[in-house]
Amino acid sequence: MLQEQAVQNPSHSNPVVLSDKIHQISHILENTSAVHQYNFTAARGQNVLITTPDSDYDQKWRLEYQVDGGGWQPKRHSSAQRIEGLNPGSQVNIRIVATDGARFDTTDYSVVFGSFPH
């Protein structure tokens, strides 16, 4: 599995654009109002994998995803989720936000996101 640390500081206004491979993203959500966003283009119309192998998933933070500008959908479990039926050039966006009612100063998160199979 190819891995890439998110070297840019993701934010709501400046999403991190990811290359055409699988990415291991580990970062810190700075506070409960922070929003981190990542964008991926399925250049070949390939399936996209999203998984959240973190024990704090859905306790302190959660992930929502969007396909081709549609509505944001919650990722409901920490196991792998495959987004299928994409067209070449389809855009898949994810955002990391605090769960409702969460209280923390900072919290780590970990996401695997990108081309599947790579």
Q: Where are the domains of the chain?
A: 16-115
Residues 6 or more apart whose Cβ sits within 8 Å of residue 111? 24, 25, 38, 50, 51, 52, 54, 63, 94, 96
Name the residue among 64, 63, 60 with its Cα closest to residue 104. Answer: 60
Phi and psi at residue 51, to the nearest 5°: -140, 150
81: helix, strand or coil: strand
Q: What is the pTM of this model?
A: 0.85
User: pLDDT, tens digit, for every residue of 12-55?
Assistant: 568 999 999 999 999 999 999 999 999 999 999 999 999 998 77
pLDDT of residue 4: 43
Domain 16-115 sits in CATH at 2.60.120.290
**Percentage, residues of the chain above pLDDT 90:** 77
Confidence at 5, pLDDT banded by 50, 70, 90: very low
What's the gap between Cα 39 and its chain centre? 8
